[in-house]
Amino acid sequence: MTKLTSEQARAQLADIRAKYAESTKFDNFSALIMGEAGTGKTSIIATGRKPILIDSFDPLNTLVLKELTDKGEVLVRQFWSEQSIAPTEYERWEKQWSKDCDTGFIGMMGTYSIDSCTTWIEALVNAYCKKKGRQNNIPEIQDYQVIYNIIKDTIKISSTQGADFILTGHLVAYQDEVTGRTYSELDIYKRLKTRVPLLFTEKLVTLSKEVPAGIKHVLLTNAAGRYRASTQLGRNGKFANEEEPDIKLLLKKAGLSAEDKVI
């Protein structure tokens, strides 16, 4: 094989740099927003860039946004009618989501969200098990990797449509058997607890804190105590460890556009 000359090597390096620069020309981000019940996971979605589209799998969860939905500032598609013995919602959602990706509709949104990954995955598993004829909606050993791949592929595709993509997730506490310390982790399948967060640049945690005036919601951007949060947008001190739960505020601090889209 002929050895490259220095000039050819420089040209190849320049080509790699150019292709990388082109592939990273974006002003949208992806965030996994995790929290326990009542900490404002759904509410923070409404602080993102408009138009905001939420595909909701958590029954009645988006009622906290009623004022904004009444104004048309936040659009909610409901996938609440799931029954484990007769699942319908995942296939109904998947058909619509695929169409929206193909037509570019999601990319026209300022923010697109699936709320929440816990109930969305439950609907997926129900549909998959029904299709495969599994008893009691319990996957067999060979099913898990297929299900995991569907979940990961959907997240990747949703993150690259041109809208800010937010996936919410419920946290549950667990105790480390070795150290005895208590941590919080996503309420999803064990092997996905670490794999799903890897697909997001922003892994943020919503918390409720007692203040003299009552309860205040805050957004954790870095690991603290039993919570595992991290940020790439807020690196180098752009974000405080605890921020106001406001997506547009974070975008401004990160030097990204916080402007709404106009359709």
Q: Which residues of 34-56 are buried (b: 16+ CB within 10 A; e: fewer)?
A: bbbeebbbbebbbbbbbbbbbbb
pLDDT-derived band at 223 (thresholds 50, 70, 90) equals: confident
The band of 23, judged by pLDDT with boundaries at 50, 70 and 90, is low
Q: pLDDT tens across 177-221, in order? A: 677 778 788 888 888 988 999 999 999 999 888 777 778 889 999
The alpha helices in 60-191, defined as continuous H runs, are 66-71, 89-103, 117-132, 143-159
More confident residue, 24 or 30: 30
DSSP state of 94: H
Instruction: State mean pLDDT over 39-53.
Output: 93
In this prediction, residue 251 carries a pLDDT of 93
Most confident segment among 12-21, 103-112, 232-241: 103-112
For residue 117, give the 3-state DSSP assignment. Answer: helix
For residues 67-76, average pLDDT: 87
Mean pLDDT estimate for the chain = 88
Query: CB-based burial of residue 120 (10 Å sphere; 0-12 exposed, 13-18 middle, 19+ buried)?
Result: buried
- For residue 145, what are the CA distances in angstroms to 39, 137, 149, 235? 32, 16, 6, 33
| pLDDT at residue 168 greater than cutoff 60 | yes
Q: Which amino acid is at 142?
A: Q
Least confident of 34-43, 74-83, 221-230, 241-250: 221-230
Look up tokens 């019940």; give the residue.
37
pLDDT tens-digit profile of 75-121? Answer: 999 999 888 888 999 999 999 999 999 999 999 999 999 998 999 99
**Rounded to whole angstroms, how far apart are CA atoms 75 and 105?**
13
**20: pLDDT confidence band, cut at 50, 70 and 90?**
low
For CA atoms 217, 221, 222, 223, give the dihedral sign: positive
**Alpha-carbon dihedral sign for residues 81, 82, 83, 89:** positive
Taking residues 130-149, what's their average pLDDT? 91
User: What's the rounded Cα separation, in Å, for the pair 187 and 171?
Assistant: 6
Residue 153 has pLDDT above 70, yes or no: yes
Residue 128, helix vs strand vs coil: helix
Cβ neighbours, 10 Å, residue 121: 24
Determine which of 38-52, 107-121, 156-170, 172-186 has the lowest per-residue pLDDT on average. 172-186
Looking at residue 144, what is its pLDDT?
93
| Residue 21 pLDDT | 60
